[in-house]
């Protein structure tokens, strides 16, 4: 998801080696962050956070320790400092420019989504293979040809791209993006990509996610009627 790509791409951009937090930890840090921003209190303990989410205080302290922030025994965490440290750890303080490939329904929806801003993701432009879309805009973002996009990616040193094109074109696009210097790909096509090990890939299969949701609903209904 968004957080995982951001965490990894910031390590790439800064050219440093870090010990990444496990994905479940990053997920929990995100919900802690939202909760911390929603309350108004100077100090908060791991026990209070744990109680709100029905976690254990040990789990909360372990998660927060990945951010590098340590609370004071018997005092807890300074809420504002903890927010700042978690945001820094997740890379929210550094804007990440992204190129979006594919201006179809999914691509347009992603381009118009305002929620990326709070994760410091900035979709600077789109690319598509439909000449009728060239030089038009989506949510104020210009659509280029793929050739022009690859040129801009090289010139601007863009390191992250979103792919929203169907297979098998998604693999061809990924190969071209990697040659242009892309180091992280968020793949919204229905087929997984085959990329070199050093390339960070996050696959989002919307159909599979919907199928999992449907299965959970069916299971819940069956349990209810037993």
Encode pLDDT of 75-97 as tens digits. Answer: 889 999 999 999 888 877 778 89
Looking at residue 17, what is its pLDDT?
37
Higher pLDDT, 74 or 202: 202
This prediction's pTM? 0.69
Is 50 exceeded by the pLDDT of residue 184? yes
Strand partners for 107: none
The answer to whether 68 and 86 are in contact (CB under 8 A) is: no
What is the distance between the alpha carbons of residues 189 and 29, in angstroms, rounded to a whole number?
A: 28
What CATH fold (topology level) applies to the domain 96-209?
Answer: Rossmann fold (3.40.50)
Assigned CATH class of 2-90: mainly alpha
Looking at residue 19, what is its pLDDT?
57
What is the distance between the alpha carbons of residues 164 and 102, in angstroms, rounded to a whole number?
A: 5
**CATH 1.10.10.10 boundaries in the chain:** 2-90
Band the pLDDT of 14: cuts 50, 70, 90.
very low
Looking at residue 222, what is its pLDDT?
76
| Structure tokens, 118 | 């709070």
Is 90 exceeded by the pLDDT of residue 210? no
**Hey, which bits of the chain come out as E strands?**
43-44, 77-78, 96-101, 121-128, 137-138, 141-145, 160-163, 184-187, 200-203
- Over residues 101-144, the pLDDT tens digits come to 999 999 999 999 998 888 888 999 999 999 999 999 999 999 99
Q: Is the dihedral of CA 191, 192, 195, 200 positive or negative?
A: positive
Residues 6+ apart with CB under 8 A from 100: 107, 110, 111, 123, 125, 126, 127, 141, 161, 162, 164
Angle 151-182-101 (CA atoms, 0-180°, nearest 5)? 65
């Amino acid at each position: 998801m968004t957080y995982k790509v951001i965490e990894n791409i910031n390590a790439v951009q800064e050219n440093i080696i870090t010990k990444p937090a496990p994905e479940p930890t990053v997920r929990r840090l995100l919900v802690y962050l939202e909760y911390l921003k929603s309350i108004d209190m100077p100090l908060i303990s791991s026990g209070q956070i744990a109680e709100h989410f029905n976690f254990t205080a040990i789990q909360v302290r372990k998660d927060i320790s990945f951010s590098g922030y340590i609370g004071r025994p018997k005092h807890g965490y300074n809420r504002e400092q903890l927010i700042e440290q978690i945001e820094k750890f997740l890379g929210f303080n550094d804007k990440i420019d992204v190129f979006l490939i594919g201006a179809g329904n999914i691509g347009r929806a992603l381009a118009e989504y305002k929620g990326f801003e709070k994760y410091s993701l900035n979709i600077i432009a789109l690319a598509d293979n439909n000449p009728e879309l060239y030089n038009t805009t989506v949510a104020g973002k210009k659509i280029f040809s793929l050739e022009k996009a690859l040129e801009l990616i090289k010139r601007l040193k863009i390191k992250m791209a979103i792919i929203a094109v169907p297979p098998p074109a998604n693999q061809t696009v990924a190969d071209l993006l990697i040659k242009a210097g892309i180091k992280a790909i968020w793949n919204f096509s229905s087929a997984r990509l085959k990329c070199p090990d050093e390339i960070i890939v996050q696959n989002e299969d919307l159909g599979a996610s919907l199928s999992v949701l449907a299965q959970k609903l069916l299971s819940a209904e069956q349990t209810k009627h037993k």
